[in-house]
Structure 1
Amino acid sequence: MSLGRVKRKEASAITPCQKFEGHTDCVYGTINLPGGQRIMTCSWDGSLRVWNLKSGKQIGDEWRDGESEVLTIALSPDGKKVVSGSEDGGVRLWDMDTGKVIGRWMGHTDRVNSVCWSQDGQRVLSGCTDGTARQWDVENGETILTPIKAGHSLLAVAYSPDMTLFATGGADRPWDDTGDNKSAIKIWNAKTGEKLVATLEGHTDCVRCLVWTPDGKTLISGSDDFSVRTWNTTSTWKQIAVLEGHTSGVFSIAISPNGRILASASYDHTALLWNLDNNQPISSPLQHPSHMFSVLFSVDGKLLATGCENKNAYTWDVSAIVKEAGLDELLLDQRDKSVLAVRDTFLL
């Protein structure tokens, strides 16, 4: 597949708060853990690792179940379990207290690229290179309803906040040398698992990442066409805006808890912070040594964690970056117009 020629940018003055070293291959995913003192990463090296957020040191042994590469992880709403997706097609359920696998859900026939939890913690949604999306019953590990054939290859899946819908994105046809990999985002009824609610067209290359805003009114997508796009989900399902700034494919996106800042990670070696009030970049790019694979906000929106191809993860002071840009209001919670509590850690 072609992600386009990466153009080098001038070095940014913004530097990370911390670096997490230990993985032996690309860091594909990052999540924050209960208690506010730890984060977890997953890697192409086949391991999950827990880190002390302040010191950057690994806590305990790596978590591992075989040698298959781990591409995606997600924390359960109650903070007691982690679900992962792997190269071998397995979806694994891990116990947070023991670091051991308590469920292996097999059914996909290729790599699992994306997993997410329903907000009630009873279901897990997975998307696979085999082109199918599956909903799993967490209690018994069985597939709920019929697997959905949603495209040639699924790279991203996401439940809506109210759990009535889910979105899928990826490639609608095999990759070839023409670069013609136009792909639509598809919206499905989560209760029936079959009814196609809407098809969102606009991206000119495969869709790699999806996220809903906390209020459920907007869906945001990132693509190999270098763009991030926003979509109205309340009635029209029309494209709202195109955010352009990256010079290569967008691999991961995350939205701040107050819904006002977006982060995107790209193959162009950078992460960008976006002001969702006007869809403009907030600062110069956050420079990394290699391709970017993941971004994650802390629950208070003050920190950003990033995962990189160079085997390391990093944290960045979003609060300082936003204030330096003179955009302090973006740290406000629009629900009560009060400044979010300043915290130095990731919180559950």
Structure 2
Amino acid sequence: MTEDTSHPIIRSSTPLRTFDNLGEVAAVATFPDRQRLVTSSKDGMLRVWDLKNGVMLKEMDGHGEAMVDMALSRDGRLIASSDDRGHVIAWHGDTGRLLTRAFRAHSEICSLDFSPDGATLATSSSDWTTKLWSTATCGYYGGGSVNCVRYSLSGELLAIATSRYGIEIWNPATKCRIAKLELDAMSLVWTPDGSRLLSGGDIIREWDLSTWKQVGDIWKGHTSHPWKFAVNCNGTVLASPTTDNHVRLWRLSDWRTIAIFRHSDSPCCVTFSMDGKHILIGGNDKKISEWVVPAHAWPEDAPNDQATHQAQDCNTEAQGCNTKARDSDTKAQAFDTDAQGFEIKACFRP
């Protein structure tokens, strides 16, 4: 694939700014209020940051073990974190208060994701299972390693990536498998319009949901495996970090690389800002770095006067930017502070 000469690839090793996270960054997400960033770290801590001035607002300590992944609900009211011993903790997104004690969900957790309404948490594990947990009752609905789970924006589909059985698409309401893609994958992300699924293993591929067939050619450019994708909220740009210390930005319309950012160490996670003008990268160097997205890739409706450091909930790792916060009395928030864990609703095994 030739380089777009009208917009040559931007290569940069100097971020706009960095946050000193104190521990190696395992996951990063931005709140829908556009003012805060949350990170989970391998020192067992969650940290919430002020995006405007870079000040740490609070630290939450509940695991005592290295964290593996984190999910933020789309209204920003719930945070779920997991550690390397398979435990999950739920937190109040605004206050940082513990909503559950640490409960053992699996032998080892690889990935977390909330349903769009925040009523269900999906967890995947190296024990070959994907479990759905009710966040309303704090208690379970009711195999290679499951590497990643991702809800579609509508919540009607759940994609599961495994190391042996390929990619499986499930209807979480009926608990029926809809499709199976014979390709191992480590990372998944849906486009916001729900029309496409992107998968990453040794390479990046795009899938059409109407046919479940691969779209176009494989994406070329990475020299190591892409990990933990993010898509901007209008579905035009993909960010993919890899273990070679680089994060690539891809234009989804033609699968071209438009920028390459070099983080100071292996990047583990990435998210976009609300206005689509910046990305935030977390890595093993215990830092979060902020970078400017090339102007020609900004969303057409991006406001010009919006604050520079506003950001979205991108557990997209890909969430929609138009999701409105739920009322405070929503049943998904009905937690007992002494709750032992979520109730399991379903368990999927490839």
* Residues 304-313 or 28-37, more deviating: 28-37
| 1:306 alignment partner in structure 2 | 281
1:262 aligns with 2:238: yes
Amino acid across the alignment from 2:67: V
Amino acid across the alignment from 2:115: S
Cα distance in 1 for partners of 2:207, 2:224 equals: 21
CA deviation after TM superposition for structure 1 residue 36, in Å: 2.2
Choose which of 198, 216, 223 in structure 1 pairs with 2:194: 216
Q: Deviations over 1:246-304 (max 9, x none)?
A: 11111110101110000001011100000101001002x20012211101012221111
| TM superposition score normalised by structure 2 | 0.81
- The alignment partner of 1:252 has SS state of coil
Q: Which runs of 4+ in 1 moved over 6 A?
A: none
1:272 aligns with 2:248: yes
| 2:180 alignment partner in structure 1 | 199
Cα distance in 2 for partners of 1:289, 1:314 equals: 9
Q: Is the 8 A contact 1:18 1:56 kept in 2?
A: no
Q: Is the 8 A contact 2:89 2:101 kept in 1?
A: yes
| Match runs of 1:79-118 below 5 Å | 79-104=76-101, 106-118=103-115
Cα distance in 2 for partners of 1:27, 1:107 equals: 22
| 2:150 alignment partner in structure 1 | 158
- The alignment partner of 1:68 has SS state of coil
Q: Is the 8 A contact 1:46 1:70 kept in 2?
A: yes
CA deviation after TM superposition for structure 1 residue 165, in Å: 1.5
Query: What are structure 1's unaligned runs of at least 5 residues?
Result: 1-10, 146-150, 173-182, 333-337
Cα distance in 2 for partners of 1:109, 1:74 equals: 16
Amino acid across the alignment from 1:339: D
- The alignment partner of 1:142 has SS state of coil
Choose which of 171, 185, 209 in structure 1 pairs with 2:167: 185
Cα distance in 1 for partners of 2:252, 2:11 equals: 22
- The alignment partner of 1:144 has SS state of coil
CA deviation after TM superposition for structure 1 residue 105, in Å: 6.4
Cα distance in 2 for partners of 1:120, 1:109 equals: 23
Q: Is the 8 A contact 1:158 1:167 kept in 2?
A: yes
| 1:53 alignment partner in structure 2 | 51
Amino acid across the alignment from 1:244: K
Amino acid across the alignment from 1:187: I
Q: Deviations over 1:63-85 (max 9, x none)?
A: 11031211211221222121112
CA deviation after TM superposition for structure 1 residue 34, in Å: 4.5
RMSD of equivalent CA atoms: 1.9
Query: What are structure 2's unaligned runs of at least 5 residues?
Result: 1-9, 313-350
Cα distance in 2 for partners of 1:192, 1:269 equals: 41
Q: Is the 8 A contact 1:105 1:142 kept in 2?
A: no
Q: Deviations over 1:148-193 (max 9, x none)?
A: xxx3111210012222220111312xxxxxxxxxx51111121133
Q: Is the 8 A contact 1:108 1:130 kept in 2?
A: no
Cα distance in 1 for partners of 2:278, 2:56 equals: 19
Cα distance in 2 for partners of 1:104, 1:170 equals: 29
How much identity, in percent, do the aligned residues show? 32
| 1:40 alignment partner in structure 2 | 38
| 1:180 alignment partner in structure 2 | none
Cα distance in 2 for partners of 1:79, 1:202 equals: 33
Cα distance in 1 for partners of 2:102, 2:12 equals: 45
Amino acid across the alignment from 1:341: P
Cα distance in 1 for partners of 2:298, 2:152 equals: 24
Amino acid across the alignment from 1:82: I
- The alignment partner of 1:301 has SS state of coil
CA deviation after TM superposition for structure 1 residue 114, in Å: 1.1
Amino acid across the alignment from 2:150: A
Cα distance in 2 for partners of 1:209, 1:142 equals: 28
Q: Is the 8 A contact 1:208 1:222 kept in 2?
A: yes
Cα distance in 2 for partners of 1:96, 1:198 equals: 34
Cα distance in 1 for partners of 2:65, 2:36 equals: 24
| TM superposition score normalised by structure 1 | 0.81
1:341 aligns with 2:339: no
| 2:21 alignment partner in structure 1 | 22
| Greater RCO, CA 8 A, separation 6+ | 2
| 1:296 alignment partner in structure 2 | 271
CA deviation after TM superposition for structure 1 residue 111, in Å: 2.2
Cα distance change of structure 1 residues 22 and 214 upon mapping to structure 2, 3 Å threshold: closer
Q: Is the 8 A contact 2:34 2:274 kept in 1?
A: no
Cα distance change of structure 1 residues 74 and 346 upon mapping to structure 2, 3 Å threshold: farther
Cα distance in 1 for partners of 2:99, 2:287 equals: 28
Cα distance in 2 for partners of 1:170, 1:191 equals: 21
Cα distance in 2 for partners of 1:162, 1:38 equals: 25
1:141 aligns with 2:138: yes
Amino acid across the alignment from 1:121: G
Cα distance in 1 for partners of 2:57, 2:230 equals: 25
Amino acid across the alignment from 1:166: L
